[in-house]
Amino acid sequence: MNRAFNPFYTVSYKSENYFCDRKSELKRLSSNANNGINTTLISARKYGKSALIYRLFEELNKQKEWICIYIDIYSTQNIKELTELLAVSAIKKFPEKQSIGKRFMQFFKSLHPVLSYDALTGQPEVRFEFTQARDYERTLGAILHFLEEQKAPILLAFDEFQQVAMYPEKNTEAILRTIIQTLHNVQFIFSGSNQHLMIEIFNSAKRPFFSSTQSLVLSEIPADLYSEFIRRHFVENKRTIDTETIDFILEWTCNHTYYTQFVCNKLYASNLRNPDLIETKLICSQILEAEKSTFLQYRNLLTDYQWQLLIAIAKEKKVFQPQSKNFIQKHKLGGASTVKKAVDSLVVKEMLLVHIEKDLSYYRIYDVFLMRWLQTTY
Ligand SMILES: Nc1ncnc2c1ncn2[C@@H]1O[C@H](COP(=O)(O)OP(=O)(O)OP(=O)(O)O)[C@@H](O)[C@H]1O
Ligand SMILES: [Mg+2]
């Protein structure tokens, strides 16, 4: 079957029709942008932050002439690369045939860039060859001030923003905060999946961004809305899927957006016109089988003890108190301090997720498919 027709996307964002819910989050983001409030968008990986940003852009473009710019800074290592990425994003956003593009290019040349175009893709590439770190700060500020001077309001979304905490220039947050404070026409979304670092950057009184944004934490899409979304896409494509099967998919994938999308995608791709529970479970086993070698590689990267702890947590699905006597004795895990050390290390490695549900936090396996594989294999 032609993959383009599969209504369950597992990468990027397609359009509103293939995007489930997030109505209240969208309203908040849109209201913040329209009212001069910058937002911090936080969730564990693969809940749908990036897709939500694209969905917001689509919505804002309907409302008025917003200029929306998306910058994923995950691959940047320092302030030089951040400045270059911002410059490239602006060049792509303002093609030279438009008047704003002409103005940008005129301004941009005054920054003394080395501008080239990739021979194969035709995409612009920018390098700044300054010797002083201050020149990068100045250039970053100049580009943002160029945006500030435009008639249309600008929304700049920095995705994977926690990356700035890894830069060797420890003052990057302070530099950005100082520039951002002077802007009124440019609104920001700072999105990130490393919850610990994001909270540290925005909620620690010692850091420059403290209390300067409103946080929005993205969690699961409500089951009833996701269920309706899945059913609709089957029905619209002249297929059916029963409630029991949808409920199983949502439970099996813990409503974690990417994993739910992935199972639905595979089920749809199987070409079954009316997939039932047994057929769906078979597809799920096939997904685990295909991932098996990756799971076994995880095992090689962990100590035996960490692996046993992962198995124990997978079997429980949610563990509220891994240091409790009950949990430790049931799974023969030794001392509470050893458990704590291993849990902390697995959280840092993003093998375990600290999940907050109704003000209670618990640990679960980060990768839902790994959890299901551990549950069935051990
Ligand atoms: N509301 C939604 N409805 C349907 N599919 C969605 C929705 N949100 C996200 N998705 C899909 O789920 C997948 C993961 O979403 P996305 O990449 O936006 O997550 P993320 O939180 O940005 O992840 P990461 O932290 O890894 O960057 C994507 O394929 C996306 O298309
Ligand atoms: Mg993302």
| Mean pLDDT calculated for residue range 45-73 | 94
The pLDDT-based confidence of 294 (bands split at 50, 70, 90) is: very high
Question: Sorting pLDDT into bands at 50, 70 and 90, what band is 366?
Answer: very high
| CA 10 / ligand 1 centre spacing (Å) | 7
User: Could you tell me which of 92, 80, 102 has the C-alpha nearest to residue 123?
Assistant: 92
Domains of the chain by residue range = 22-217, 302-378
Task: Dig out the tokens for 84 from the structure.
Answer: 């270059």
In the DSSP assignment, the letter for residue 163 is G
How does residue 3 score in pLDDT terms, banded at 50, 70 and 90?
Answer: very low
The answer to whether 22-217 and 302-378 have equal CATH topology is no
Residue range 301-312, pLDDT digits in tens: 999 999 999 999
- The band of 2, judged by pLDDT with boundaries at 50, 70 and 90, is very low
Distances (CA, A) of 71 to 54, 148, 279: 11, 17, 41
Mutate to test the pocket of ligand 1, among 6, 40, 50 (most ligand atoms within 8 A of CB): 50
DSSP H or E segment with residue 80: helix 79-93
How much is the pLDDT for 245? Answer: 98
Mean pLDDT, the chain, integer? 93
Report whether pLDDT(62) > 90: no
> CB under 8 Å, gap of 24 or more: what pairs does 129-136 form?
130/80, 133/79, 133/169, 136/79, 136/80, 136/83
DSSP bridge pairs for 168? none
With helix as H, strand as E and coil as C, how does 97-122 read? CCHHHHHHHHHHHCCCCEEEECCCCC
Distance of CA 75 to the CA centre of its chain: 14
Tokens of 11: 């990468």
H/E element, 355: strand 352-357
Q: Is the CB of 9 under 6 A from ligand 1?
A: yes
| Best residue among 257, 259, 266, 368 to mutate for probing ligand 1, ranked by most atoms within 8 Å of CB | 257
Residues 118-176 have pLDDT tens digits of 888 889 899 998 888 889 899 999 999 999 999 999 999 999 999 999 999 989 999 99
pLDDT digits (tens, 9 = 90+) for 184-205: 999 999 999 988 889 899 988 8
Strand-pairing partners, residue 41, are 191, 216
Nearest alpha carbon, ligand 1 atom 16:
48
Q: Which of 41, 65, 37, 61 is nearest to 53 (CA)?
A: 41
**Residue 258 C-alpha to ligand 1 middle, in angstroms?**
6
Domain 22-217: CATH class, spelled out: alpha beta
Burial class of residue 301 in the structure, from the number of CB atoms within 10 Å of its CB (0-12 exposed, 13-18 middle, 19+ buried) = exposed
Taking the C-alpha atoms of residue 352 and residue 171, their distance in angstroms, rounded to an integer, is 31
Report domain 302-378's class.
Answer: mainly alpha
Confidence (pLDDT) at 34? 92
